[in-house]
Amino acid sequence: MPGNDEGIQFSILCPGVDHLEEGRVLEYSLPRVSDRGRIAGYAIAIFLSSASLMVLEIAAARLLAPYIGVSLYSWTAIIGVVLGGLSLGNWLGGVWADRGGSGRSAGLVLGLGALSCLGVLLLLTLVAAPLQRSELGLLSLSFVFVAALFFLPAMLLGVVTPLLTTLALRLDARTGHIVGMMHALAALGSILGTFATGYLFIQYFGTRAVITGTGVMLGLLALAFLLHARWSLLGLALLAAGIAAWTGVRGGFLQPCDRESNYFCIQVVDMSARVPFGRARGMVLDHLLHGVSHETRPELLIAPYTHLMDELIAAHLGDGRESPSFFFAGGGSYTQPRAVQVLYPGARIMVAELDPQVTAMAQSMLYFEPRDVRIIHSDARLVLQGLQGQRFDVIVGDVFHDIAVPYHLVTREYAGLVRSRLSPGGLYTLNVVDVYPDPRLVKSMLKTLGQVFSEVRVWIEAGTLPDSRVTYVISAGDTHTAPERLSSKRGPRREWHDVTAALIGQGTSLSALPLLTDDHVPVERLLSRLMFTGLGR
């Protein structure tokens, strides 16, 4: 009762209940008002610590994207490491509670959790360079990066829930009520942390600010439990100050991205050394270069694969096509749409780019002027589905999720959609990263596209070395418009070969490779040589 600090006892008569003796009286003792306040404090701490753990898990993907990208393997490493740390922490928290854990113990572990959050940015400056120099494959590198930075925070935050739940049970005998409430609050905190980080925190504050803020919040929680433990508070404060100072000296708080969007860490880098004259800039999304744009010569395509795609388009369109129509799946650096503006005056150009921040950076830093280009900020497949009745002479696929083309853009169903949006005799061309000379993903795509288009060809630059990572270009359509050996007619002198027959005749047979459908798209398995070796980095 309000104002009454004594326990309240009541009984319930439960006649006719199978698992109770008839007439048995169950007695409960509600906690005193002061104890209810302490239980509420424990509940808030559990809610916030669980939210903090999910904040760290989501932030981990963005923090590490410039080093390991964002792929199925990196997310698997993050989720697995965090769950592993949480499991160990839950066990340690239960043991600690049985061996005399107290509110001060909870404050100490929350304080250490705060320090471990602050230490993430410091550790990143210490381990990033040696790990980047290592020979680890992308899968192993992802696991080591995540384990080094996030296992300890996950373990420490995992201690909180069982420890504080046990302390609450000492104040309230309603075991089911307390355990259920604490588990529910932990789950709700995790949900809130996930949505708030993904939808709000990262895009408004940036990853480093989010991780630092999480550490500060955990430190304030620890303060609430350690108000009377001055020496513990002093020690934690001195450690926090030391970690923050060391992190600042090493540049751990500095943002490596020119802009951090909902999808990418976007960097614009000087690429003038790659061009024969003048100035050029490139766009890096996470850890992958997505295009190079020359300042004054938009038609000068620096990357060999973009140059090849331009030559294939030129061979297909010929000299007499007026106002051709283009659809670009993916804008990126907008190097190709920018070249088309100059090479095909009057061309009708549409670009589907998922990230509006990528477009904004291309306009502000990469010399792109949209003019009459129609840009739709949405997924390319969704955009094409909505363009019923529209046809394009050329559809270009240049979309990457880390080093792989997104799953839903390599399937038979998507290929059918592309064909339905091509004009009669239209051309579909896209680029794919794989190994040479046995590119299993490229071969699966060759097999898949072959079910939709009558002519599918795979191209690489002349002089490609075996056992290397290669950007292939695939062309598909219903007509054969380019010779088997293609030499550049504009830009740098280059030559490319049609290697379709060679790929089919060597290495893994097409019959042994999967047909890519919306129900089965094992991209990572097909790219395993990239993922398990240094070729994918």
Whose tokens are 């097409």? That residue is 510
Cβ-count burial of 493 within 10 angstroms (0-12 exposed, 13-18 middle, 19+ buried)?
A: exposed
CA angle 442, 457, 447 (to 5 degrees): 50
Instruction: Copy the structure tokens of residue 242.
Output: 């030391």
Domain made up of 299-536: CATH architecture: 3-Layer(aba) Sandwich (3.40)
537 residues of the chain, pLDDT tens digit each: 334 444 444 444 444 444 444 444 445 556 676 788 999 999 999 999 999 999 999 999 999 998 988 888 899 999 999 999 999 999 999 999 999 999 999 999 999 999 999 999 999 999 999 998 888 888 899 999 999 999 999 999 999 999 999 999 999 989 999 999 999 999 999 999 999 999 999 989 999 999 999 999 999 999 999 998 989 999 999 999 999 999 999 999 998 899 998 899 999 999 999 999 999 999 999 988 999 999 999 999 999 999 999 999 999 998 656 789 999 999 999 999 999 999 999 999 999 999 999 999 999 999 999 999 999 999 999 999 999 989 999 999 999 888 889 999 999 999 999 999 999 999 999 999 999 999 999 999 999 999 999 999 999 999 998 889 999 999 999 987 788 999 999 899 999 999 999 999 999 999 999 999 999 999 989 998 888 887 777
Rounded Cα distance, 43 and 178, in Å = 9
Whether the link from the prior residue into 437 is cis, omega within 30° of 0, is yes
Cβ-count burial of 144 within 10 angstroms (0-12 exposed, 13-18 middle, 19+ buried)?
A: middle
Rounded Cα distance, 83 and 522, in Å = 25
Q: Which residues of 279-311 are buried (b: 16+ CB within 10 A; e: fewer)?
A: ebbbbbbbbbebbbbbeebbebbbbbbbbbbbb
Q: Tell me phi and psi for residue 236, to 5 degrees.
A: -65, -40
pTM for this predicted structure: 0.86
Domain range summary for the chain, segments of one domain joined by +: 31-249, 299-536
Rounded Cα distance, 162 and 278, in Å = 63
Asked if 473 and 309 touch (Cβ cutoff 8 Å), the reply is: yes
What local confidence, expressed as pLDDT, does residue 495 receive?
Answer: 96
Q: Tell me phi and psi for residue 449, to 5 degrees.
A: -65, -30
Other beta carbons less than 10 A from residue 46's beta carbon: 26
Rounded Cα distance, 247 and 234, in Å = 20
528 CB contacts (<8 Å, ≥6 apart)?
none
- In CATH, the number for domain 31-249 is 1.20.1250.20
Quick one: CA torsion of 524, 350, 428, 509, rounded to 10 degrees? Answer: 0
Rounded Cα distance, 155 and 429, in Å = 48
What is the CB-side half-sphere exposure of residue 158 using CA atoms within 13 A?
Answer: 20
The single-letter DSSP state of residue 411 is S
457 CB contacts (<8 Å, ≥6 apart)?
474, 475, 476, 482, 498, 500
